[in-house]
Amino acid sequence: MEGNAVREIEGGAVAVREGRILWAGKESQLASHARVTPDTTVVDAGGGVVTPGFIDCHTHLVFAGSREKEFQMRMEGKTYLEILQAGGGILSTVRTTRAASEDELVEAALPRLRRLLRFGVTTCEAKSGYGLDTESELKLLRVIRKLASLQPVKLVPTLLGAHAVPAELRERREKYIDTVVGEMIPAAARQGLARFCDVYLEKSAFSLEETEKILTAAMDAGLLPKLHAGQFNDLGGAELGARLGASSVDHLENVSDEGLGMMAQKGVVAVTLPGAAFFTREKRADCARMARAGVRVAVSTDLNPGSSPTENLPLMMTMSVVDGGLSMQEALLGVTASAAAALALPATHGTLAPGAPADILVHDAGDWRRLIVHFAVSHVRSVVIDGKVVLP
Ligand code: NIG
Ligand code: FE
C-alpha cells in the first residue's frame, strides 16, 4: 500500500531491518532484497493479509467515569447539545476526571489501549479535554506521556483545553479563553507535552472567532492546529481550517461545498467519525462528497465516553463505506496513510514503503476486503510495532 492508492501484492513478503521497512514485494523476489540470517525473526503470515498498522487519528483516550445514563436520556429524546448545555455530557466527565489521580487515569486508559491494539491500532492520537483548567489539562497530557512509556501503541498527544467552557466560568468565558491562550498553550508547548492543539467549534462550545484566536496562539507557540467542526452545525470550520493550514478538520457532518473546496486546495484532511454520528443519532457525514471534492478522508473512532465509546476502528471503516459512501480502498487508506496525513506524520507512515516504521498487521483473512465486510470483529492475528512482535 502506498500514498494515495491501495496496492495489492499476491504472495507477498515484507523485510524489516532495525525497526523499519526495508522492502515489500513478491516473496519470490525476497532473496534479492534481503538476507535471512540465523538471528532473523520470521513471522509466517500463513496466507493471511498483511497491512500497515492502523492509525487511530482522533481519540479522547484519557478520562475517568462513564456516561450510561446520558445514553439512555438521548434514546429517550434529549439531544447531545441539550445535555451539554444542562451541565452534563463533556462536563460530567470533567468532574470525574478532575477528581482522578494521574495513576488512576493511567490505569483506566491502559485497557482501552489494549483493546485498540487488538483491533490493529499501532499509532493513536490522544487528546486532553476533560480537565478544563491548566493544571488538570497538563495532568491529562502527562498521563498520555506516561502511557506512551508503558505499552507498545505509539501515542500522538493533543491539547484540547478548548473542549468546553468549564462550569465555574460559564458566565465568564473570555476569562477561560484567556487561560487557554495565556497559560495552557504556552505550558503544554514549553513542556513538550503536546504536538497538536484542537478546538471544539460548535454551539455550546466555542465560536469561530474564539477558535481562530486559540488556534492562532497555538501555532505561535509551535503547536499544529486541528479542529472539531460541523458535528451538529456548520459554523465555518472547514474554511477556517483551510485558512490556518490545519492538519485536519474532524467530524464535518455539516459542511459547505466552499469549505470542502478550500480544504481540497490546502490539502487539509477530513477526519470522519462515523461512530459519533451513529451513536448520537445525528446526520452521517457524506464522505463520498468529500472525496469527490478532492478532500482526503481519514477514518477514526473518536473514542470517548459520551458520543462514541468504542475502540473498534475496523467497524468505523465499515461504517464509512456503508453510511458515508467511501470506497473500500479509501476506507483502508483512511485508517493508514490518510490517518498518517491527518497527524502530519512523514509520508511513508501508514504504508509498507521502504523507510516506513515497521508497524505491521497480519490478519486472519485471505482478502483485505474481509476486514470491512465481516464487520465489527477483529481479524488481527499478529501485530508488529517498530519491527517487534507485540501481539500475540
Ligand atoms: O468528538 N464533540 C466533542 N468531543 C467529542 C465528544 C466528547 C464527549 O462527549 O465526551 C466528539 O464527539
Ligand atoms: Fe472528538
73 lines ligand 1 (CB under 6 A): no
pLDDT one-digit tens code per residue, 153-201: 999 999 999 999 999 999 999 999 999 999 999 999 999 999 999 999 9
**Percent of the chain surpassing pLDDT 90:** 95
Provide the strand spans (E) within 188-324.
196-201, 224-229, 248-251, 269-272, 297-299
Closest by CA to 307, choosing from 90, 50, 23, 1, is 90
Distance CA(173)–CA(123), nearest Å, equals 34
Q: What pLDDT is recorded for position 291?
A: 98
Q: What pLDDT is recorded for position 5?
A: 87
Single-letter residue type at 165:
V
CA of 65 to the centre of ligand 2 (A): 17
Q: What pLDDT is recorded for position 2?
A: 44
- Whether residue 209 has pLDDT greater than 60: yes
- Whether residue 3 has pLDDT greater than 70: no
- Whether residue 244 has pLDDT greater than 60: yes
Closest by CA to 119, choosing from 382, 378, 344, is 378
231 lines ligand 1 (CB under 6 A): yes
Model confidence at 36, pLDDT cuts 50, 70, 90, reads confident
Compare 271 and 39 and report the one with higher pLDDT: 271
pLDDT one-digit tens code per residue, 253-295: 999 999 999 999 999 999 999 999 999 999 999 999 999 999 9
Which grid coordinates are listed for 208? 469561530
Q: What pLDDT is recorded for position 4?
A: 72
Distance CA(141)–CA(157), nearest Å, equals 7
305 lines ligand 1 (CB under 6 A): yes
What's the gap between Cα 286 and its chain centre? Answer: 18
Residues paired with 299 in a beta bridge: 272
What rounded mean pLDDT belongs to the chain? 96
| Mean predicted confidence (pLDDT) in 88-101 | 97
- Whether residue 370 has pLDDT greater than 80: yes
User: Coil, strand, or helix at residue 158?
Assistant: strand
- CB-facing half-sphere around the CA of 212: CA atoms within 13 A: 11
Single-letter residue type at 3:
G
Closest by CA to 55, choosing from 373, 325, 348, 391, is 348
Question: Are 23 and 348 contacting, i.e. CB atoms less than 8 angstroms apart?
Answer: no
Q: Which ligand is nearest to the CA of 309?
A: 1
- Whether residue 341 has pLDDT greater than 80: yes
Which grid coordinates are listed for 140? 491529562
The count of other CB atoms within 10 Å of the CB of residue 316 is: 29
Closest by CA to 49, choosing from 387, 360, 392, 388, is 360
Residue whose CB lies within 8 A of the most ligand 1 atoms, among 94, 163, 249, 310, for a mutation test? 163
89 lines ligand 1 (CB under 6 A): yes
CA of 59 to the centre of ligand 2 (A): 6
- Residue whose CA is at the smallest distance from ligand 1 atom 1: 302
The count of other CB atoms within 10 Å of the CB of residue 99 is: 11
Distance CA(246)–CA(342), nearest Å, equals 9
pLDDT one-digit tens code per residue, 61-78: 999 999 999 999 999 999
Grid look-up 458566565 returns 171
Say which residues have a Cβ less than 8 Å from residue 50's Cβ, sequence separation at least 6: 12, 14, 352, 360, 361, 362, 363
- Buried/exposed 251-278: b ≥16 CB within 10 Å, e otherwise: bbbbbeeebbbbbbeeebbbbbbbbbbb
Q: Which ligand is nearest to the CA of 80?
A: 1
304 lines ligand 1 (CB under 6 A): yes
Residue 331's φ and ψ, nearest 5 degrees, are: -65, -40
Question: Are 361 and 52 contacting, i.e. CB atoms less than 8 angstroms apart?
Answer: yes
Question: Are 239 and 257 contacting, i.e. CB atoms less than 8 angstroms apart?
Answer: no
272 lines ligand 1 (CB under 6 A): no
CA of 160 to the centre of ligand 2 (A): 10
166 exposure class (CB count in 10 Å sphere: 0-12, 13-18, 19+) = buried
Question: Are 175 and 154 contacting, i.e. CB atoms less than 8 angstroms apart?
Answer: no
Closest by CA to 67, choosing from 331, 371, 212, 279, is 279
Q: Which ligand is nearest to the CA of 306?
A: 1
Question: Are 268 and 245 contacting, i.e. CB atoms less than 8 angstroms apart?
Answer: yes
| Mean predicted confidence (pLDDT) in 304-325 | 98
| Mean predicted confidence (pLDDT) in 16-24 | 97
- Whether residue 111 has pLDDT greater than 90: yes
